Chain A
Amino acid sequence: MKRQIPLIIVIGLGFIFVAHTFIPSRTSQDFYDWWVSWSKAISPFAVVLGILSLFMVHGTKIQRKAPNWQYSVVTLLAVFVTAFVGFVWGTDEGTPFLWLFKNVQMPMSATMFSLLAFYIASAAYKAFRAKSPQATVLLVAAFIVMLGQVPLGAAISRWIPEASQWILNVPNLAAKRGIATGVGLGATATSLKILLGIERTYLGSD
């Protein structure tokens, strides 16, 4: 029963929603809207689950004094403080919550993302080598696209931004379409396997 009931729910609802897509009637649409409205109930449960999971993982780390447990203290403190100021003073302009967001969250997130520039530059220097014809094509394409993205490229020649656009519009597009078609076919095959009960790994190993 533990495996059969979820399987029946998935297969039954799966076929119902596939049928909905091909039935352009008001009843079908109303049923779909009614069903989708249930999704509102999922979000609050997900939040509760997320917070519980966070406290369990970091609480255990602190209790056991696991390596780098101090970071867990910072994480839990951040959760408490942010939630506290949000509940007490609200989240509008001029509140401590927004001050925290603008002066802590925003610069920290931007810093983490900007580290990419350092890694890319280092990787380009250490690993981007014309070792084979394929790597050389990649290298030349990267040169043109990088130059085409900045004013210097156009200053050297109007041909560079145009070549950069061509690379994005033709070879890049062809590759992207190929990947998208592959992903689409793969998703269809997997969905069919789930609908027919062949693919059951989502049920877990029990």
Chain B
Amino acid sequence: MTFWEKIQNIDRRWIYMIVALCIIVPLLIPFNSKTYVTEPTVNLYKKIDSFSDKEDKAILLSFSHDASTMAELFPMEVSILRHCFERNIKVFLICFSPPSAPLMAYALNVAKEDYPDLESGVDYCNFGYKPYGLFLPIVLGMGDDVGEAVDTDADGRKVKNLEIMKGIRNYDDLNLIIDFAASAAVFSWITYARVRFGANVAAGVTAVMAADNYPYLQSGQLVGMLAGLKGAAEYEKLVDVFAAYEDEQYSDGRNFSQEVIKNTWVPIMKKTISYTSGETNVQTDVELPYKFKQARIGMNAQSIAHIMIIVFIIIGNIGYFLSRKNKNEV
């Protein structure tokens, strides 16, 4: 038996061991890697950023996934919440499945740890878990009156009486809905909130679901999309470079610029990091805790895993063609 024939029949357990090593080692020993942002991520960032400091605009985050897809979706949830908190954007959270409720509270708690001045019911509001049977009445009802449709928040307070509701009545004000899902849940928001009331809808989905959403991106029914861990890593970078950016010139973040993001390199593996912009060569020091760079660390493992799969496919095909050639010669 030749080497290539042997390798064709290799025990699966060896493959599993290589996969485990390729994923675990980059997570344990992280390294710097470049993150390039894509258009759907930029569009979502810009849309959220346009709500900065506006009393009469808010976004709604809908959590439609369970713990199994946390690795991909949790970093994007934390990044978006961080963006909202940095830019003083009103944010509401809701979920329609019981396993999503603790995840929603967890993401909120992790993101707001660094913003001690934020107040529930004033800067953000967790609507909590609502039974799926109420999905349609709530989604349609919010088109008329958010306070009426949702009634109470996670703490049992009357939504209508909360300070955050000043200037927020229906989808004209609660103008962006972002659904985090590992399924086709976002289509319901498109069908009922987008088509019927003209609300802007965006998606944060697992990588395998991303391909399904491209038709809606192209038609403009989705204003933006974060696709899997890569989308989360891109969003983390955008928040670092713009919303959370601080130096002498920009003490409170800076506005999005395609030129800046194109030329900015964010090395994540230093406790104190530097931004180097191609044109101005600006440098600043920012403390970056793990929670705000976890997607980019995860991308290291994903990068190695993708390369490993490509190498596997190449080796498998070389073996296949050589074995076939040998058989034909015999």
Mark the stretch among A12-20, A57-65, A161-169, A187-195 that contacts chain B. A161-169
Name A121's closest neighbour in chain B (CB-CB). Answer: B19
Mark the stretch among A3-11, A69-77, A105-113, A196-204 that contacts chain B. A105-113
A66 at the interface (CB under 8 A from B): no
Name A39's closest neighbour in chain B (CB-CB). Answer: B133
Chain B residues numbered 123-149 whose CB sits less than 8 Å from any CB in chain A: 131-134, 136-137, 140-141
Pick the contact of A121: B66, B109, B308 (CB < 8 A). Answer: B308
Pick the contact of B313: A36, A108, A125 (CB < 8 A). Answer: A125
A53 at the interface (CB under 8 A from B): no
Cβ–Cβ contact A110 & B67, under 8 A: yes
Distance (whole angstroms) from the CB of A7 to the closest CB of chain B: 25
Cβ–Cβ contact B133 & A40, under 8 A: yes
* Interface size bracket, A side: 35 or more
A43 at the interface (CB under 8 A from B): yes
Q: Is the interface of A mostly helix, strand, loop or mixed?
A: helix
Cβ–Cβ contact A109 & B133, under 8 A: no
Residue among A131, A150, A161, A176 with most chain B CB within 10 A = A150
Chain B residues numbered 188-224 whose CB sits less than 8 Å from any CB in chain A: 207, 210-212, 214-215, 218
With known contacts A169-B214, A176-B214, A117–B23 Cβ distance under 8 A: yes
Pick the contact of B68: A109, A131, A155 (CB < 8 A). Answer: A109
With known contacts A146-B309, A154-B34, A122–B12 Cβ distance under 8 A: yes
B310 at the interface (CB under 8 A from A): yes
B185 at the interface (CB under 8 A from A): no
Chain B residues numbered 309-326 whose CB sits less than 8 Å from any CB in chain A: 309-310, 312-313, 315-317, 320
Pick the contact of B134: A40, A128, A131 (CB < 8 A). Answer: A40
Instruction: Give the residues in chain B near A206, CB-CB below 8 Å.
Output: none
Instruction: Give the residues in chain A near B313, CB-CB below 8 Å.
Output: 124-125, 128, 139, 142-143
Q: Mark A39-57, 1 if CB is under 8 A from B, else 0.
A: 1111100000000000000
Cβ–Cβ contact B34 & A120, under 8 A: no
Q: Mark A145-165, 1 if CB is under 8 A from B, else 0.
A: 011011110110000010001
Name A113's closest neighbour in chain B (CB-CB). Answer: B68
With known contacts A113-B69, A176-B212, A150–B309 Cβ distance under 8 A: no
B54 at the interface (CB under 8 A from A): no
Cβ–Cβ contact B207 & A110, under 8 A: no
Cβ–Cβ contact A151 & B137, under 8 A: no
B36 at the interface (CB under 8 A from A): yes
In the complex the two chains form, what is the Cα distance from A168 to B211 in whole Å? 7
B282 at the interface (CB under 8 A from A): no
Q: Is the interface of B mostly helix, strand, loop or mixed?
A: helix
Cβ–Cβ contact A151 & B299, under 8 A: yes
* Interface size bracket, B side: 35 or more
Cβ–Cβ contact B133 & A154, under 8 A: no
Instruction: Give the residues in chain A near B15, CB-CB below 8 Å.
Output: 118, 121-122, 125
Distance (whole angstroms) from the CB of B76 to the closest CB of chain A: 15
Distance (whole angstroms) from the CB of A176 to the closest CB of chain B: 5
With known contacts A109-B66, A117-B23, A168-B214, A125–B306 Cβ distance under 8 A: no
In the complex the two chains form, what is the Cα distance from A6 to B139 in whole Å? 29
In the complex the two chains form, what is the Cα distance from A48 to B125 in whole Å? 31
In the complex the two chains form, what is the Cα distance from A124 to B317 in whole Å? 10
Mark the stretch among B43-51, B98-106, B112-120, B285-293 that contacts chain A. B98-106
Cβ–Cβ contact A150 & B105, under 8 A: no
A98 at the interface (CB under 8 A from B): yes
Q: Which 8 A-B pairs have the closest CB atoms?
A: A43-B133, A109-B68, A109-B67, A113-B68, A150-B303, A106-B67, A125-B312, A151-B33
23 residue pairs of the A-B complex, CB under 8 angstroms, read: A39-B137, A40-B133, A43-B133, A43-B134, A102-B102, A102-B106, A105-B67, A106-B67, A109-B70, A113-B71, A118-B20, A121-B308, A121-B309, A125-B15, A128-B313, A129-B316, A130-B317, A143-B310, A149-B302, A150-B230, A150-B299, A154-B36, A173-B218
Instruction: Give the residues in chain A near B10, CB-CB below 8 Å.
Output: 125
Instruction: Give the residues in chain B near A149, CB-CB below 8 Å.
Output: 207, 228, 230, 302, 306
Cβ–Cβ contact A43 & B299, under 8 A: no
Pick the contact of B137: A40, A109, A112 (CB < 8 A). Answer: A40
A31 at the interface (CB under 8 A from B): no
In the complex the two chains form, what is the Cα distance from A173 to B307 in whole Å? 26
In the complex the two chains form, what is the Cα distance from A156 to B19 in whole Å? 23
